[in-house]
Amino acid sequence: MIPALDDAAVLWSGERDGRPLLVLLHGYGSDERDLFALARQLPDGFAFASVRAPTEPPWPTPGYAWYALEGEGARDPEVVTQAAARVIEWIDRTGHDGPVGLFGFSQGASVALQAMRLTPQRFAFAVNLAGYVAPGALAGDAVLARTRPPVFWGRGTADAVIPEALVVHTTDWLPGHADLVGRTYPGLTHAVSEQELGDVRVFLEKRLRALADQG
């Protein structure tokens, strides 16, 4: 079982009251400081919360992980679902009752999309950088097919980390379950470029305007 998130290992930025919450979910072998460093380059209309994944990868890999990438059960959709459930539980513990968006890189992006599939009514949008949609069906998929929340998916053409089968599955799945903004970046490896970050800023600015229009 994947343990609960550590409340003490969360980095916060921005005013928490009256702003949409943007939850940052880092990648494998990293920690809460990674994406938090990007927050200053994102629209300041959000409250940012960068959380630490709850497990540790095997030595000598540093940092933290949302689920195992090695051995039996690696990338099993069930462990992605368990990790997403821990994120939802943590958000519930914050008591935040306003709009929530999810912003993930690699493993964190996959967890973000899985969380949206578990409780589609809870999340206003998601940013998927170099991640994938876990195979298999979830109860919330039908809701997403109807409501089609905004999702940004960015990936590099030279990204050799995510298996091609998962990229193909994500390419097939997302357009039918989201209002998709998809971008590919020539030559980009498993990383985030300045061009991609600029596209993400535009996406998030549009989300802020849409949320403001909704009241």
Query: In the prediction, which pLDDT does 71 show?
Result: 61
> Using omega within 30 degrees of 0 as the cis cutoff, is the peptide bond preceding 99 cis?
no
Query: In the prediction, which pLDDT does 72 show?
Result: 54
- pLDDT 10s per residue in the chain (215 long)? 899 999 999 999 977 878 999 999 999 999 999 999 999 999 999 999 999 999 999 889 999 999 988 765 557 899 999 999 999 999 999 999 899 999 999 999 999 999 999 999 999 999 999 999 999 999 999 999 999 999 999 999 999 999 999 999 999 999 999 999 999 999 999 999 999 999 999 999 999 999 999 87
User: Where do runs of H (alpha helix) occur along 38-106?
Assistant: 77-94
For 12, counting Cβ atoms within 10 Å of its Cβ (0-12 exposed, 13-18 middle, 19+ buried), the class is middle
Query: In the prediction, which pLDDT does 76 show?
Result: 86
Query: In the prediction, which pLDDT does 17 show?
Result: 78
- Other beta carbons within 10 angstroms of residue 106's beta carbon come to 25
Distances (CA, A) of 206 to 93, 108, 161, 213: 28, 22, 30, 11
User: What's the one-letter identity of residue 130?
Assistant: A
User: Which residue matches tokens 């600015």?
Assistant: 205
CA 139 to the chain's CA centroid:
19
pTM value is 0.96
Query: What is the chain's length?
Result: 215
User: What's the one-letter identity of residue 210?
Assistant: A
Q: How far apart are the C-alpha atoms of 215 and 206, rounded to whole Å?
A: 15
Over its C-alpha atoms, the chain yields an Rg (Å, rounded) of 16
